[in-house]
Amino acid sequence: MKYDTNVEIMKAITRGDYGDPFSVLGMHDSGGGLVVRVFFPDALEVDVVDRHSHKHIASLERLLPEGFFAGQMGRRKKRFGYKLRVVLENDELYMEDPYSFGEVWTKKDSQHFAEGANYRLYDRMGAHCCKLGGIPGVLFAVWAPNASRVSVVGDFNNWDGRRHVMRLRHKASVWEIFIPDLVEGDHYMYEIKDRKGNLMALKSDPMGFAHECPPRTVSEVADIDSFKWADKNWMKSRAAKNALDAPISVYEVHLGSWRRVPEEGNRFLTYRELAEQLVPYLQDMGFTHLQVMPVHEHPYYGSWGYQPLGLFAPTRRYGTPADFKYLVEQCHKNGIGIFMDWVPGHFPTDDHGLSNFDGTSLYEHADPRQGFHPDWTTYIYNFGRTEVSNFLINNALFWLDRYHIDGLRVDAVASMLYLDYSRQDGEWVPNQHGGNTNLEAIDLLRRLNELVGDFDGAITIAEESTAWPGVSRPTSKGGLGFNFKWNMGWMHDTLEYMKLDPIYRRHHHHKMTFGMVYAFNENFMLPLSHDEVVHMKGSLLTRMPGDSWRRFANLRAYYGFMWGHPGKKLLFMGGEFAQEREWNHEISLDWHLTQNRFHHGVQTLVRDLNFFYRETPALHQLDCEPEGFQWIKVNEEEESYYAWLRFARNGRKPVLCVTNLTPVIRENHRLGVPNAGFWAERINTDLEVYGGSNVHNGEGVRTEDVPADEYAQSLVLTLPPLATLFLEYTG
């Protein structure tokens, strides 16, 4: 056969039906010398030329009209570097031959991938700008074990899947190809044929580092290694900033609706604009951490990011990967940590995404009783498949490694832990022991949390809504290994209480105290998140009872109660100035409200609470230890007030917190305290500056030698209406 070619194989290549084009195309020893074979549709001529001088070496003969060319390299017997000169009808190209490059994926890569032991898989898969043999280009690698053919398509090959068919590394089921001369910003997708040869919808890169702005679904080559970080000081110190005894006050933000630019078509702020506006605001308000709702690329904006498909790419709606890194860096340079919502529980069914990726249920369970989520009409990952669990763990570590994220708030953990979550009898499959716990998901979460520990100071936070034991306990002690857990029970109970008219509160008094029964079973974070201001729940302000004055007073008292309660704090954007309407992701927060006295008063209070909380060890140092808390008054149902003490580790400067949740001023109220001397009134949510009635105790109160509440001395206080007081012992 001429040039050692097989007609049927050549025809299969021109149809894009040949699964191993590297064995045919490129430079090969034919036995009678070197031969170069090229498939280039629409080419009129193809020559082999010197890589550097472009001097002619050989002309290739067209063997098939579809564009298959081949030719001998004269008397040359030693392989050499070359380029192709391709003549088109209206153009002439000098290009590297992608089929002239050898294998990149190693046996070690294959072994680690199969074992699920490669935790830097993102260094090898996806699209990487690099050089092979000194030639710049992009290396692509994708997992598709059941595909009969995988190609990279894009503008560079007119989206023709026959042009850049990838090489299959059988032991890993990973397909790879190095395409020279591609650069950052080039668009691409994967064209896949299933095991029967059926062409599927084009797929975005599961490990792509950037994508076009939705609704477009095209992946984009991004060089994420070129950013030069300048946050070394923060990274060295963050372990202390994220510790159990640190003050952690989190501002939760949806980046697309925190603030917009109405004069420019209501457009989003970019990551860099957010860095210039949001970061100073966080500093001014005293928040220690920013938590961003999912920034992974997601096709449907209305999902708020909780249905992501581009898990390795920050959404292009607000800028490039480098722009998002700039936002993170600016947080760090200004002393603010950044947590990110991470969604490993499910993914959307969009054709361009992970679903049915290679013609099979690759990432998802094939059985809908295990692989389909009825609440969100999404697919559930197959946590028991090694490659899938490794994909998810790699993704979590990727954000900590490449984007310097300080913590991951893991979404919907309960939906992962329980096989019967939101399912009726007969709609779920028991585990191997006949139970309802997802053993594979548990293993995944434990392994993840152990590996996060390798990133000094990085933490994980679980949104887990059940009584699963040991969520925030070490894996070595049988726990799941999270650092913190959202206290959903505290949030539900206290909001249920606060919406009641004060006249009825005495009947539900212990909704506010029940959280202390289990407060130290986990390392808790108290969340007033976005979930509490959507789906017709109204804003926090509108859930408070009474006229306008009482609603604001109730909200201020509630915030005081929250900041005095053990547990780290989280508040969703807008809550800090008492946003009146329910959150709408399509528009900006109502910043004009901050010009109103009462809204501005709440904003001032949250600022003061944050700074007092940060500066006062008694309010944060023993958040997760029972030694840091003691009730003084807990059973005052008829008067609906609560009093408790907070302590620092050394016992110095304890803080007395008192919350009066009736509109009645209570004078001459005696409370026992552990230290004799002066107790300074540090925060009073009823002060005029906050929009209150300005009932207060002056600069503070000195103890009297009158025993009360099992202490030898006591204070006589005036309790303002619908208010919380903080009094600090000063000696």
How far is the C-alpha of 230 from the C-alpha of 222, rounded, in Å? 20
Residue 491 makes CB contacts below 8 A (sequence gap 6+) with 526, 527, 528, 529, 532
What DSSP line would sit under 282-328, residue for residue? HHHHT-SEEEESP-EE-S-GGGTTSS-SEEEEE-GGG--HHHHHHHH
- State how far Cα 27 lies from the chain centre: 45
- State how far Cα 395 lies from the chain centre: 10
Query: Which phi and psi (to 5°) does residue 707 adopt?
Result: -65, 145
Which residue in this structure is represented by tokens 């009678």? 32
Residue 326 makes CB contacts below 8 A (sequence gap 6+) with 227, 271, 272, 275
**Can 463 be counted among the known catalytic residues?**
yes
Continuous H helices in 482-596: 488-498, 548-564
Alpha carbons within 13 angstroms on the beta-carbon side of residue 116 total 15
How far is the C-alpha of 484 from the C-alpha of 473, rounded, in Å? 9
Continuous H helices in 372-411: 386-402
How far is the C-alpha of 472 from the C-alpha of 334, rounded, in Å? 29
Q: Is 163 left (phi over 0), alpha (psi -120 to 50) or beta?
A: alpha
Helix, coil or strand: residue 228:
coil
CB 376 within 8 A of CB 346: yes
Helix, coil or strand: residue 115:
helix
Helix, coil or strand: residue 187:
strand
What DSSP line would sit under 229-243, residue for residue? ---HHHHHHHHHHTS
CA dihedral sign, ordered 12, 15, 20, 21: positive
CB 314 within 8 A of CB 321: yes
Helix, coil or strand: residue 222:
coil
Of the residues 364, 406, 411, 464, only one is catalytic, namely: 411
Q: How far apart are the first and last CA of the chain?
A: 100
Which residue in this structure is represented by tokens 């109730």? 554
**Can 411 be counted among the known catalytic residues?**
yes
Residue 142's DSSP bridge partners are: 175
How far is the C-alpha of 542 from the C-alpha of 558, rounded, in Å? 13
Amino acid 239 reads: A
Q: Using omega within 30 degrees of 0 as the cis cutoff, is the peptide bond preceding 215 cis?
A: yes
E strands of 612-686, at which residues? 629-633, 641-646, 655-660, 666-673, 678-684
CA angle, corner 116, sides to 418 and 178, nearest 5?
125
Of the residues 97, 220, 463, 608, only one is catalytic, namely: 463
Q: Token pair for residue 639?
A: 């008067």
Catalytic positions, written as ranges: 411, 463
